Amino acid sequence: MHRMAESLGIGACFRHRPHEKPMRLQPTLRTKILLACALAACATGCKVTGADIEYWKGTVKGPGKIVAVMLSDNYPMELRTQSALALVEMERQDVDGVAELQRAIQRLPEQKRHEIIAGMVSGLAGLMRGGDTAASDANGPPPLQVRAKDAAYLLITHAQGQARDQLVDAVVGWYVVDFNGRSLAGNYSAEQVVRSLGSRAATMLVEALNAEMPPQAVVKLAEIISQVGDDQAKQRAAERLVEIERRMESDEYLEWLKGKVRDQIREQSPDAEIDENRVSAIAALNRENFVTQGALPAMKHLSSQQVVAERLLEVASLESTNEIIVQRRVKALQALEGGAKREHLQRLLALALNSEVPEAVRDYAFDRVGDIRSPEAIPPMWPLVQDGEKQRLRWRAGEMVLVIGGPGVVAEFFTKLPSGSDVKFEPEELEGYATRMSQMSPPPTDLVREQLRSSDWWDRVIALRYYERKGTEADIPAMQRLASDRAEVKGEHWENLEITTVGQVAEAAITGLRERLSGGAEAEGQQGPEQQQGEESGE
Q: How far apart are alpha carbons 281 and 286 in whole angstroms?
A: 9
Contact 478, 452 (CB under 8 A): yes
At 14, give phi and psi (nearest 5°): -105, 75
pLDDT tens string, the chain, 539 residues long: the values are 333 333 334 444 444 444 444 444 444 443 443 344 445 444 444 689 999 999 999 999 999 999 999 999 999 999 999 999 999 999 999 999 999 999 999 999 999 999 999 999 999 999 998 755 555 456 789 999 999 999 999 999 999 999 999 999 999 999 999 999 999 999 999 999 999 999 999 999 999 999 999 999 999 999 999 999 999 999 999 999 999 999 999 999 999 999 999 999 999 888 888 999 999 999 999 999 999 999 999 999 999 999 999 999 999 999 988 999 999 999 999 999 999 999 999 999 999 999 999 999 999 999 999 999 999 999 999 999 999 888 999 999 999 999 999 999 999 999 999 998 889 999 999 999 999 999 999 999 999 999 999 999 999 999 999 999 999 999 999 999 999 999 999 999 999 999 999 999 999 999 999 999 998 544 444 444 344 434 433 33
Write phi, then psi, for 501 (nearest 5 degrees): -135, 165
The residue among 137, 146, 202, 151 whose CA lies nearest residue 176 is 202
- State in Å, rounded, how far the first CA of the chain is from the last one: 81
Q: Output phi, psi for 455, to 5 deg.
A: -80, -15
Dihedrals phi, psi of 504, to nearest 5 degrees: -70, -35
Q: Please state, in angstroms and rounded to a whole number, the distance separating the CA atoms of residues 338 and 317.
A: 18
pTM: 0.79
As a whole number of angstroms, the distance between CA 117 and CA 168 comes to 13
Residues near 252 by beta carbon (within 8 Å), at least 6 away in sequence: none
- For the chain, how are helix, strand and coil distributed in percent, rounded to 5? 70, 0, 30
Query: At 434, which helix (H) or strand (E)?
Result: helix 427-438
What per-residue confidence (pLDDT) applies to 131?
54
- Cα 322 to chain centroid, rounded: 30
Please work out, in degrees rounded to the nearest 5, the angle formed at the alpha carbon of residue 133 by the alpha carbons of 139 and 136. Answer: 30
161 CB-contact burial (10 Å; exposed 0-12 / middle 13-18 / buried 19+): exposed
DSSP 8-state symbol, 499:
-
Nearest to 411 by CA among 374, 444, 376, 377: 444
What's the pLDDT at 135? Answer: 53
H or E segment to which residue 533 belongs: helix 529-536
Note the pLDDT of residue 169. Answer: 95
Is 501 strand, coil or helix?
strand
